[in-house]
Structure 1
Amino acid sequence: MHAQWHALLCALSNGRSETALSSQTLPETFRLRAGNFNLLVLRLLDPRPDAVLPALGDQFRKAPGFLRFAPIVIGLQDLVAAPEDVDFRGLIEGLHALEIVPIGTTGGTPQMRQAATAAGLPPLRAAGGKEVDAEAAMAAAPQGASQAASAPQAAPAAAAKPGAAAQFRGSGRNALLVTEPVRSGQRIYAEGADLIVTATVNPGGEVIADGNVHVYGALRGRAIAGAQNDSEARIFALHFDPELIAIAGYYVVREGLGDAPIGRPAQVRLDGEEMRFGPLG
């Protein structure tokens, strides 16, 4: 009997040792980290999904793939309606049918946010605990914005003519250099930086920068500059033939380019809420 008890105690002891050892050597399965992301905001002006969704579908059919499976925030700050009059579940289902993924809300009254949360759209909050507004959601990186605002001023440029006193301010941003062609379905994002592409951006490809976008080749895909709501950002291309261009959230699809210099060197800037196109040089 003593021998049997001794054997059992040894087995239990060995089992505890093996369990303790295995718990120490289990592989790490996940990590939680905070992160900042640039998100588009769909600011509702009408509470009816059957009014919003068809208009939204018409817009995005002009730029196929632009928002396919993209996360989007629902802006409630401009919505004048009672919470019970907003069909959040119908809106979510309709957005999913358009292959757009709503992930939360911003703005709105506490009652409106509560109704959205009940439908599966939680309010998004900034790191300080305050409600995210549309501009903050588009920027989604306050550190980068503050760094850009505090960028040192460049030394005054040499005067082109006597008496001229022009001064120029550098962007203070780094640049991401891409030397390979951007393929269809490929998306490249220069966070907190300008983006320089020395090859072609093919149809279906997408180049995004918080600063300027430079394409020293053919721009045949989509180009998005000023992704952190920088309205001073510009788009430059040696061969301008894009599917879509956007600056600081304002965009134009191919059909709306009008008198833009298609097929030629061009630069694009934002003037208020209007796109302006001009030649290079």
Structure 2
Amino acid sequence: MSAPALNPRLEPFRLRGANFNLLVLRLLDPRAEVIVPAIADQFRRAPGFLRFAPLVIGLDDLNVAPHEVDFVTLVNELRAIEIMPIGTVGGSPELRAAAQGAGLPPVRAAGGKDEPVEMAPAPAAPAAAAAPEPLPPGSMRPTMVIDHAVRAGQRIWAQGADLIINGTVNPGAEVIADGNLHVYGALRGRAIAGGADNMEARVFALNFDPELVSIAGYYAVREGLTDAPIGKPVQVRLIGENMRFDRLG
């Protein structure tokens, strides 16, 4: 007996516009052999950092001729370490054309803004997760409260709000808040506050032992927390561009 014929859909697909928040990898050096090992080093120090993350390559800081940037090698080597470059922003028309030849089309930020969130070097380096667009003043949402532990592989994002976790954030988990982040338990995963470039945001944890902690794009990984009171109640905040760790109580 023959298989029944499938009824074709009248619309096999649909296209629609959508906005996405992406990280920008600003190239400060044109050499793939310098860029990729530096990013791979972050992988070793912060497991899961940027793994399978789509990102845009920022070209504004490169003052070089197009032939000095091997975009094909850069794309291939980034993908080999499980980072997915999808396009470029900024740079000269010649650089953009060279990048497009390697499969990186120019990306225009939504709303006419300069760029998506960028990865900029700083005393405490850039965040591991993309930050959302800031909400208009006075439009912060109610605090998000999670009354359970956050397991490895889970990501919880309080967009436009503070985030309270009543439980442990396990290794391999990620918790993100546009505002302040409170963990009333052990913080052992990745914690990101001030997701909308809010440098006044803070991270609070009753047992501070994170894989990574970030505020407004500045981050520190576990190896760099030598001055932090590990295992103690801690408040994390920014003083200028430096991350400060204070005991609570």
Query: TM-score by structure 2 length?
Result: 0.85
Aligned to 1:186: 154
Letter in 2 for 1:104: G
Q: Is the 8 A contact 1:36 1:140 kept in 2?
A: no
**In 1, Cα distance between equivalents of 2:179 and 2:88:** 26
Aligned position for 2:243: 275
Where does residue 184 of structure 2 map in the other structure?
Answer: 216
Q: Is 1:44–2:27 an aligned residue pair? A: yes
> Are 1:151 and 2:132 matched, yes or no?
no
- Structure 1 contact 106–132 (Cα < 8 Å) conserved: no
Aligned twin of 1:118:
101
Q: Distance in 2 between matches of 1:197 and 1:111?
A: 48
- 1:99-158 deviations in Å (ceiling 9; x for gaps): 111111111112211111121111211234x474254796552xxx251xx229xxxxxx
CA–CA distance in 2 between the matches of 1:236 and 1:131?
Answer: 32
Asked if the contact 1:38/1:228 (under 8 Å) is kept, the reply is no
Cα distance in 1 for residues equivalent to 2:187 and 2:117: 28
Query: How many angstroms does 1:59 deviate by?
Result: 2.0
Partner SS state of residue 89, structure 1: helix
Give 5+ residue unaligned stretches, structure 1: 1-21, 153-171
Aligned to 2:228, the other structure's residue is in SS state: coil
Residue in structure 1 matched with residue 168 of structure 2 by the alignment: 200
Whichever structure has more helix as a proportion of its residues is: 1
Partner residue, 2:44: 61
1:81 corresponds to which residue? 64
Of structures 1 and 2, the larger Rg is shown by 1
What SS class does the counterpart of residue 35 from structure 1 fall into? coil
* In 1: Cα distance, 2:214 partner to 2:24 partner: 14
Q: Which amino acid aligns with 2:176?
A: I
Shift of 1:213: 1.3
8 Å contact kept, 1:124–1:131: no
* Equivalent AA in structure 1 for residue 45 of structure 2: K
Match runs of 1:91-110 below 5 Å? 91-110=74-93
Deviation digits for residues 8-61 of structure 1, max 9, x if unmatched?
A: xxxxxxxxxxxxxx78xx476544443333322211011110111112211221
Q: CA separation of 1:189/1:248 partners in 2, compared to 1, >3 Å: closer, same or farther?
A: same
What is the aligned partner in structure 2 of residue 254 from structure 1? 222
Other-structure match for 2:125:
none
**In 1: Cα distance, 2:24 partner to 2:103 partner:** 17
Q: Which portions of structure 1, spanning 4 or more consecutive aligned residues, are displaced by more than 4 angstroms?
A: 27-31, 134-140
Gaps of 5+ in 2: 1-6, 120-129
Distance in 1, matches of 2:99 and 2:160, equals: 32
Q: Is the 8 A contact 1:177 1:196 kept in 2?
A: yes
- Per mean C-alpha deviation after superposition, the further-off stretch among 51-60 and 132-141 is 132-141
Normalised by the length of structure 1, the TM-score is 0.76
Structure with the bigger RCO (C-alpha within 8 Å, sep 6+) is: 2
Indicate the percent of aligned positions where both proteins have the same amino acid.
62
